[in-house]
Amino acid sequence: MKASSYQIIAAAVLEREGRFLCVEERVNGVLKINQPSGRLEIGETPAYAAVRKTIEESGYSFLATHMVGIYEYFDLTTSIMVLRLAYAGVLFSPRPEPARPNDPLIHAVHWLTYEEVESVRERHRSPFVLQCVKDYRAGKSYPLDLVTHFPASPAS
C-alpha cells in the first residue's frame, strides 16, 4: 500500500522522579495519551521541534541532550507514513509547575509512571508512545548529531 503523505514528527521523552511527561490530547474528538510531539516546521532541527512542542503542549522546557530513537509507522486509517524522532534531555521550568499549555487540543498534562503509561495503552495516540518509554528505560541513547541538519537554501 502506498502512503498518501509523509509526516516527520519530533517528540520528547522526559522523566522526572520515575514518572514520564505525557499529554492528553483531543484527536478527532477522542482524548488520547501521547508524549509532547509534533511536526517539524521548515528550517528547524528535529531537536528544536521537540523542545518547541514540549513548551507548547505542556508548558515545560528542556535541553535536548540525546536521541532515544527513530521510529516509523504506517497508519492504515489515514494512509500516512510517520517518522518519529524522539529526544530526551534535561528538564527545566521557570516555576515549580508550568503555565497552562497554549495548544488548544491539549486537555491535560500528566506525569505517569511506566505502569500507568502501559495500563492506558488502548488510549495511546500511536504505538510510538509506549515504545519510546521502553527504549528510554532500556538506556537507548544516540548523539544529537545523528541527524545532520542543512539550513534551507535556494536551489542551485
User: How far is the C-alpha of 27 from the C-alpha of 51, rounded, in Å?
Assistant: 21
Cell numbers of 12, please? 520528547
Residue 122 is assigned to a structural domain of this protein: no
Residue 86 is assigned to a structural domain of this protein: yes
How many distinct structural domains can be found in the chain? Answer: 1
Cβ neighbours of 117 (radius 10 Å):
21
Model's pTM, two decimal places? 0.90
Residue 154 is assigned to a structural domain of this protein: no
Residue 47 is assigned to a structural domain of this protein: yes
Domain of residue 10 covers: 5-17+35-104+127-146
Q: Render each residue's pLDDT in the chain as its tens digit; 156 residues.
A: 676 899 999 999 999 999 999 999 998 899 999 999 999 998 899 999 999 999 999 999 999 999 999 999 998 888 999 999 999 999 986 555 655 677 888 999 999 999 999 999 999 999 999 999 999 999 999 999 999 988 877 765
- b vs e for 89-114, b when ≥16 Cβ sit within 10 Å of the residue's Cβ? bebeeeeeeeeebebeebeebbebeb
Beta strand segments in the chain, E? 5-12, 15-16, 19-27, 30-34, 37-39, 61-75, 80-92, 106-113
Residue 135 is assigned to a structural domain of this protein: yes
Residue 140 is assigned to a structural domain of this protein: yes
pLDDT at 100: 66
Residue 26 is assigned to a structural domain of this protein: no
Residue 99 is assigned to a structural domain of this protein: yes
What's the CATH code of the domain at 51? 3.90.79.10
